[in-house]
Amino acid sequence: MLWVQEDIYGPGFQCIAGGITMLEAMRRRRSIRKYRNEEVPEGDLKKILEAAMYAPSAWGAKPWHFVVVKDPELKEKLSKATPYAAHAAGAPVVIVLVADMKLAKRWIEDLSIAAAHIMLQAADLGYGTCFIQIRDSENEGRDAEEYVKKFLGIPEGYNVECMITVGKPAEQKAPHEEGEYMEERVHLDRW
Ligand SMILES: Cc1cc2nc3c(=O)[nH]c(=O)nc-3n(C[C@H](O)[C@H](O)[C@H](O)COP(=O)(O)O)c2cc1C
């Protein structure tokens, strides 16, 4: 699909869309927690991380670092970070989203938007993903962020927001539907 977006990018600028439209990628993105035992090729991983680094960030700080975890032992440890992280053990790749607190002004928002870019780019490439909350989480009284930082050697001055599992889906979920659009949640001019 080819279209021209001169208003945004200047005269004659043409965009070539990927396999699916943006809205379609958003509809197809579902939280996938079961994965096929297939590696994610480096080229695809690079595209997914590239998408993350195009995210907006407060004051353009780009405070993000991404720890790409493939080592089975480490993934097993990460899967114990919180009671809701079990699927990290079986995912081909776990991406841990980290903020450099020297750079960050709004690190939670910055990393959350980068996370959305990761999940949508991955969906466009046919991967399943799932966001796993790490910040402000715990497992049986043990702080999840400290736990993750310890195993991955993340130094002081860096905070962990979340992890995202990535892999070809081994479970099927229906895409989101147009019917989920809630007219009553949209307020024109005033509440
Ligand atoms: C901030 C946030 C935290 C989440 N934390 C977890 C988590 O720790 N573990 C998990 O399995 N899913 C987690 N999810 C995924 C949600 O459960 C999921 O997005 C929601 O149920 C809607 O389903 P969908 O993603 O398929 O549309 C999280 C999602 C968000 C946005």
Please tell me if the CB atom of residue 31 comes closer than 6 angstroms to any atom of ligand 1: yes
**Whole-angstrom Cα Rg for the chain:** 18
Please tell me if the CB atom of residue 5 comes closer than 6 angstroms to any atom of ligand 1: no
Mean pLDDT score of the chain? 93
C-beta separation of 157 from 102 below 8 A: yes
**Other Cβ atoms closer than 10 A to 101:** 13
C-beta separation of 121 from 46 below 8 A: no
Q: What is the pLDDT of residues 125-176, one digit of tens each?
A: 999 999 999 999 999 999 999 999 999 999 999 999 999 999 999 999 999 9
Residue 7: pLDDT over 70: no
Sequence ranges of the domains in the chain = 1-30, 31-170
Please tell me if the CB atom of residue 84 comes closer than 6 angstroms to any atom of ligand 1: yes
Q: Which of 30, 111, 120, 130 to mutate to test the pocket of ligand 1 (most atoms within 8 A of CB)?
A: 130
Residue 29: pLDDT over 80: yes
- As a CATH number, domain 31-170 is 3.40.109.10
Q: Which of ligand 1's atoms lies nearest the C-alpha of 82?
A: 8
Confidence grade of residue 10 (pLDDT, cut at 50, 70, 90):
low
